[in-house]
Amino acid sequence: MATAPTGFEVSLIAGSGYGKSVTLNQSAGNLSNTTIYVRSAAGDAAGPIAGNVVLSTTNVTDQTVAVSGIVNAIPTVTTPGYQVLVNGARTALITFIGTASTFSWTNDTPGIGLAASGTGDIPSFTAVNNTMNLVTATITVTPLNSTGCNGMPIEFTITVNPSPASLTADAALTPMTTIYGSPSSVERFTVSGTAITSGILITPPAGFEVSLDEKAFSPTVTINGTGNIYPTAVFIRLAASTHVGNYSGNVIVSINNAADATIMVPVSTVTRASLTITADNKTRPFGVVNPTLTVTYSGFVNNDSADQLTALPTLTTDATISSAVGQYAINANHDAASPDYMFNYNPGILTITPVLSALSIPNTFTPNGDGINDTWVIKDLEYYPKSTINIFNRWGQKLFTSIGYPIPWDGTYQGKALSSGTYYYIIDPKNGQALLTGWVAIIR
């Protein structure tokens, strides 16, 4: 039997089977040459060790073999501090401290700007992260001594954040002017950004609208995209719907991961639109009260109506119930009011017509070409421009018809003179009054 001294262990196989003792088997009382392997025990403390391997059997004096060695301490390394940086920043020098004679390290994320492996301290380097998310590299460090004995590896991390997001807005806007109901001329500015994670929202001050194509304008627009946004044109103008007044303020350029950028909009002006108010023409028979006087508006914008006026115009006329047949002015007084409109006023005409039944309708005329009484003239019929006049012979054949009476009847039919005789007429005023009927005689 071979028994190891304190601090050692023995085996008959070089790579395994170690223990405090091993048994050597004899054959017929003889033992062939046998190699005994000796090593220090794993639990030994660091330092020199020595002793005797004892060879023993029954009825034989023990034999000893002196052994000695040195147990080296396991190399160690202290975990360095974790580092958190931003893209483009310089890291701190990483100096490894421990009992090892040298240090070997590996890096699982070379994309941060550090090699995949190396030995010794890690010098300062420029951290890289061109993504939109943070990147963390794990560095594994193994301590080594001169005998090739490795210590326990340790890990630490270097975290690199993406470049901070930022916005830039560039412009020198000039004042804009327009008339209510029409958009102003267009001004232009540019917007750019870095490390953008969402669309860039453009919000103009009240009264203005913006566009990315100078065609479709709206209260806000969004520049879509992420990462780096190169200078993009944005167009701004006073909106057609903006009420009269002065407008200014800041365009706000915003995203969810950076401070807002602003563009100052100088004082811009919306002036009043022109609205024309025209008194409507009216007609009434003599002796009847005046009809309700009304107006027509021309020039409303933005789907406005008279409801948007703060004061309506009043209408007057000199005609009274007893006024004679004729025409009278209807005046739209200059008292309409609105913050968005200036006014032009046009008068109307009130026409007082004779009562149809009071018309003087001749019962004869003499179309003989002497220039006297050659046509059937009906005085004041011009006040009934929508009336119809029809004339028939005694057999009911229609000989003449007219809407209004611009050209009096000359006693002909289809260009030929009618014979002397009596003809029947029907006059319809087309205004609700009763028909006028009777006979007219042609005398030649």
- In the chain, the number of structural domains is 5
- The reply to whether 376 and 300 lie within a common domain is no
Instruction: List the alpha helices (DSSP H) in 276-369.
Output: none
Residue 77 domain flag: no
Task: Find the CATH number of the domain harbouring 348.
Answer: 3.10.430.110
- The reply to whether 251 and 287 lie within a common domain is no
Residue 122 domain flag: yes
Burial of 147 (0-12, 13-18, 19+ CB in 10 A): exposed
Residue 76 domain flag: no
Please tell me the distance from the alpha carbon of residue 219 to that of residue 192, in angstroms, as a whole number.
20
Residue 241 domain flag: yes
Q: According to the model, what pLDDT value does residue 162 have? A: 87
| CA nearest to 94, candidates 112, 78, 110, 109 | 78
326: which 2 tokens?
A: 């004729």
Domain boundary among 317, 335, 353: 353
Query: What are the residue ranges in the chain where pLDDT is below 70?
Result: none
**Chain center to CA of 322:** 66
- The reply to whether 63 and 154 lie within a common domain is no
Q: According to the model, what pLDDT value does residue 298 have? A: 97
Q: According to the model, what pLDDT value does residue 339 have? A: 97
Q: What is the pLDDT of residues 162-201, one digit of tens each?
A: 888 889 998 889 999 999 999 999 999 999 998 888 899 9
For residues 280 and 296, the answer to whether their CB atoms sit within 8 Å is: yes
Please tell me the distance from the alpha carbon of residue 340 to that of residue 159, in angstroms, as a whole number.
61
Range of the domain at 34: 2-71
Residue 414 domain flag: yes
* β-strands 416-417, 166-170 pairing: unpaired
- The reply to whether 297 and 213 lie within a common domain is no
Burial of 374 (0-12, 13-18, 19+ CB in 10 A): middle
Q: According to the model, what pLDDT value does residue 194 have? A: 87
Amino acid at 49: I
Task: Find the CATH number of the domain harbouring 151.
Answer: 2.60.40
What DSSP string runs through 267-291? EEEEEPEEEEEEEPPEEEETTSPPP
- The reply to whether 278 and 266 lie within a common domain is no
Q: According to the model, what pLDDT value does residue 295 have? A: 98
